[in-house]
């Protein structure tokens, strides 16, 4: 197999990051503070939402949708969050698969993101990669971060695009582009949740994490997978504003904001990632997703 020429930054051009997410709101709950940090440092960031979140439940009990269409509402929320974060945004264009509930789980709805062939749902992302030409891509690990079918499929789609976008024999309207590095989000590591939980209890504040930790299978957690910790606490306020833009999903008085911000800054001031794939060698530990790519 021929060696792939990595598409490195050119002096004078902006660095570019492509963040691939399953649903609108995922871009705000995973990596939003580091996104805001990089945008304000001059990095061009494109967020891709693979689905419209049409089958997502309304998780904010105080939200009143009235006679509005949930799809339209979530598109509006996404537009607002993108404006808050300062990112470009595009839809991959597929239908939310929903959360299959039951034992055994029912089949996924016909025609949804998780049920369509991988080559079909991944092809638009190859086009996006070749047109946007990111140096770094972020997405979820092989378990999707959690086992929602759309999150697992998002991982598969991003992996497909990593390989196919760089393959000159895979012909599209745009030339091949070899992304330098791929990272997985590790926002909800057990290590972080435990640290915040214990800090809340020590301060005499009720923790929303107790039942979550009681049900957590510690064997599923591999702390050492985190290779990059991005210090971005000064952008937690922008992250929170982006979260609140998704009013169908986020209760401003709910558990998302149970930990006082000054406590978050003290206990866990970073957003954490795993360098999953690299075409410029293994660089770990890191404090910058663009380590090895910056031109001095």
Distances from the Cα of 197 to the Cαs of 158, 175, 268, in angstroms? 32, 48, 12
| Confidence grade of residue 102 (pLDDT, cut at 50, 70, 90) | confident
d(CA 59, CA 62): 9
Specify whether the CB–CB gap between 25 and 53 falls below 8 A.
yes
Across 16-32, average pLDDT: 98
Across 104-117, average pLDDT: 94
Helix (H) or strand (E) holding 285: none
d(CA 244, CA 194): 24
- For the chain, list the domains and their CATH numbers: 16-189+224-278 (3.40.50.10320)
- pLDDT value, residue 5: 78
pLDDT tens figures, 176-225: 999 999 999 999 888 999 999 999 999 999 999 988 888 887 655 545 79
> Looking at the predicted structure, is the pLDDT value of residue 1 above 50?
no
Question: 3-class SS at 5?
Answer: coil
pTM: 0.95
Please, what is the angle between helix 236-245 and helix 70-85, to 10°? 160
Specify whether the CB–CB gap between 26 and 79 falls below 8 A.
no
Specify whether the CB–CB gap between 139 and 151 falls below 8 A.
no
pLDDT tens figures, 249-271: 999 988 889 999 999 999 999 99
d(CA 133, CA 174): 10
- Any bridge partners for residue 228, and if so which? 273, 286
> Looking at the predicted structure, is the pLDDT value of residue 7 above 80?
no
Across 220-245, average pLDDT: 89
Distances from the Cα of 212 to the Cαs of 51, 190, 218, 227, in angstroms? 27, 10, 12, 25
Q: Nearest-CA neighbor of 275 among 126, 137, 177, 167?
A: 137
pLDDT tens figures, 147-176: 999 999 999 999 999 999 999 999 999 999
Dihedral over alpha carbons 273, 154, 135, 74 (to 10 degrees): -90
pLDDT tens figures, 45-69: 999 999 999 998 888 888 888 888 9
Q: Provide the edge-to-edge strand list for the sheet that holds 44-51.
A: 88-94, 44-51, 16-21, 136-139, 181-185, 270-278, 228-231
Q: What is the mean pLDDT of the chain?
A: 93
């Amino acid at each position: 197999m021929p060696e792939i020429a990595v598409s490195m930054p050119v002096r004078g051009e902006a660095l570019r990051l492509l963040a691939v997410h399953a649903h609108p709101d995922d871009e705000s709950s995973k990596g939003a503070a580091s996104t805001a940090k990089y945008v304000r440092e001059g990095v061009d960031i494109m967020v891709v939402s693979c689905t419209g979140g049409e089958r997502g439940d309304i998780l904010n009990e105080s939200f009143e949708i009235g006679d509005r269409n949930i799809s339209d509402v979530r598109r509006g929320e996404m537009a607002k969050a993108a404006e808050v974060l300062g990112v470009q945004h595009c839809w991959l264009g597929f239908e939310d698969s929903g959360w299959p509930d039951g034992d055994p789980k029912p089949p996924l709805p016909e025609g949804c993101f998780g049920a369509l062939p991988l080559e079909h749902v991944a092809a638009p992302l190859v086009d996006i990669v070749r047109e946007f030409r990111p140096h770094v891509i972020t997405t979820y690990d092989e378990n999707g971060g959690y086992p929602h079918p759309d999150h697992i499929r998002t991982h598969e789609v991003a992996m497909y695009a990593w390989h196919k976008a760089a393959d000159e024999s895979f012909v599209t309207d745009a030339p091949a582009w070899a992304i330098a590095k791929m990272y997985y989000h590790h926002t909800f590591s057990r290590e972080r949740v435990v640290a915040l939980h214990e800090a809340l209890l020590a301060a005499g504040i009720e923790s929303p994490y107790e039942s979550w930790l009681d049900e957590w299978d510690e064997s599923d957690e591999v702390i050492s997978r985190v290779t990059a910790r991005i210090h971005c606490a000064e952008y937690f306020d922008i992250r929170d504003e982006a979260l609140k833009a998704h009013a169908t999903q986020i209760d401003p008085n709910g558990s998302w904001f149970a930990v006082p911000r000054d406590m978050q800054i003290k206990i866990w001031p970073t957003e954490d990632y795993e360098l999953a794939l690299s075409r410029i060698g293994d660089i770990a530990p890191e404090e910058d997703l663009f380590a090895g790519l910056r031109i001095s």
